[in-house]
């Protein structure tokens, strides 16, 4: 797998890293928990058909801090629109968003469906139902967090773990970046209750594909239907077998195929 190209764009005064690869129509891919520490199989597979543009939100892996300037869902929405525009992507944009990033992508769609072409949400946060709450990853035992993110721990390591052969200082730096990434995400979703999307979701008219891992332990699989029920535009639900919360990490081939079939 050859490397993606890396560049930086400025959003609200902080430099955000953008990984890019492929030709053709742009496909924006935004990662949730863990960010995108390194180019992985999922992105590689997508880049065979589309020009994949994968920006890291402020604070996420590779980006400078900047999340501390964001105080509410509207700030995050505006930041994300700025980030996508700074990447050179013009409307209508096709967006794939996983995990907590799905929360921001949903807000963009609810605020301005016309700015999007097609939307893919993978294990998305954003809704919250008392009877079946989404899980606060950071309130779980550190020992089990990686298992809650990705069912297959080897695949988790391949994307998220520091290179064990690298010098200790590099591994510590990697840990710092991961910590910053967690902070950015925590800032967005804490305290994991409703952010009000349920009052806006009907405004989404964008054709939306909802992909969930059948073993998602953080956002229950039933949330795929909750999203589908709320969204006014055409929706399709795909449950991926043997996949956890980050279904794209557990089953990159299956998820990439579903995405490409949907966005074209």
Partner 1 sequence: MKVLFFHLMPYGALPENFSDNYNSVWVDIDSDLFKHEEAHRMYHEYLDQLQFADELGFDGVCVNEHHSNGYALMSTPQMMATVLARTTSRAAVVILGTSIACYDPPQRIAEDMATVDVMSGGRLIAGFPVGTPFDTVFAMGQNPSSARDKYYEAYEIIMKAWKERKMFAYNGNYYKQPFVNPFISPIQKPHPPIWVPGGGAIETWQWAAENDYCYTYTSYFGYKAAQAAVDGYWETCARVGRDRNPFRFGFLQFIGVAENKKMAMELYREAGEYFYDANLKVDPRWAAAPGYITEATLRAKMSSQTQRAATKDEIRSFQGKLSMEELVEKGYIIIGSPDEVADQIKEGMRNLNCGQFMTLLQYGNMKREVADYNMEMFARYVKPQLVDMWEDEWENKWWPKPPMNREDRQVPRTLHREPFDMNSPRPTAPLEANKEAAE
Q: Which residues bind partner 1 (CB under 8 A)?
A: 67-68, 71, 138-142, 172, 176, 179-180, 182-187, 190-191
Rounded Cα distance between 131 and 94, Å, is: 33
Report the nearest approach of partner 1 to the CB of residue 235 (Å): 31
Nearest-approach distance from CB 67 to partner 1, in angstroms: 7
Q: What's the min distance (Å) between Cβ of 95 and partner 1?
A: 24
CB of 190 to partner 1, least distance (A): 4
Give min distance, CB of 62 to partner 1, in A: 15
For residue 263, the SS3 value is: helix
Closer to partner 1 by Cβ: residue 85 or 174: 174
Nearer to partner 1 (CB atom), residue 61 or residue 227: 61
Residues 56/17, Cβ–Cβ less than 8 Å: yes
What is the smallest separation between the CB atom of 82 and partner 1, expressed in angstroms? 19
User: 147: helix, coil or strand?
Assistant: helix
Of 121, 152, 114, give the one whose Cα is nearest residue 32. Answer: 121
Give the count of alpha carbons within 13 A of 179, CB side only: 6
Q: What is the Rg, in whole angstroms, of the alpha carbon atoms belonging to the chain?
A: 17
Q: Which is nearer to partner 1, 129 or 139 (CB)?
A: 139
Let me know the angle formed at the C-alpha of 222 by 221 and 226, rounded to the nearest 5 degrees: 125
Q: What angle do CA 10, 14, 20 make, to 5 degrees?
A: 50
Q: Which is nearer to partner 1, 112 or 171 (CB)?
A: 171
Buried b (16+ CB within 10 A) or exposed e, 241-256: eebbbbbbbbbbebbb
Whole-number Å distance between alpha carbons of 30 and 105: 9
Q: Which sign does the torsion angle of CA 35, 228, 94, 196 carry?
A: negative
Nearer Cβ to partner 1 (165/168): 168
Nearer to partner 1, 137 or 243 (CB): 137
């Amino acid at each position: 797998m050859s490397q993606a190209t890396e560049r930086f764009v400025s959003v609200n005064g902080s430099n955000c890293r953008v990984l890019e690869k492929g030709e053709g129509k742009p496909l924006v891919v935004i990662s949730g928990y863990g960010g995108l520490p390194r180019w992985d199989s999922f992105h590689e597979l997508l880049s065979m058909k589309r020009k994949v543009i994968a920006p890291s939100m402020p604070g996420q892996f590779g980006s400078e801090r900047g999340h501390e300037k964001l105080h509410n869902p509207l700030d995050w929405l505006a930041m994300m629109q700025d980030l996508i525009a700074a990447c050179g992507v013009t409307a209508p944009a096709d967006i794939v968003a996983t995990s907590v990033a799905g929360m921001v992508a949903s807000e963009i769609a609810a605020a301005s469906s016309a700015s999007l072409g097609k939307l893919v949400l993978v294990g998305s946060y954003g809704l919250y139902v008392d009877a079946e709450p989404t899980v606060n990853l950071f309130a779980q035992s550190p020992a089990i967090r990686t298992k809650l993110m990705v069912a297959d721990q080897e695949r988790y390591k391949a994307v998220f773990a520091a290179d064990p052969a690298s010098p200790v200082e590099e591994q510590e730096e990697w840990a710092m970046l991961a910590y910053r990434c967690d902070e950015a995400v925590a800032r967005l979703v804490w305290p994991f209750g409703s952010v009000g999307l349920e009052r806006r979701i009907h405004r989404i008219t964008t054709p939306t594909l909802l992909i969930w891992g059948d073993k998602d332990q953080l956002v229950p699989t039933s949330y795929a239907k909750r999203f589908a029920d709320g969204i006014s535009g055409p929706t399709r639900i795909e449950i991926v077998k043997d996949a956890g919360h980050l279904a794209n990490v557990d089953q990159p081939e299956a998820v990439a195929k579903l995405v490409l079939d949907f966005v074209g």
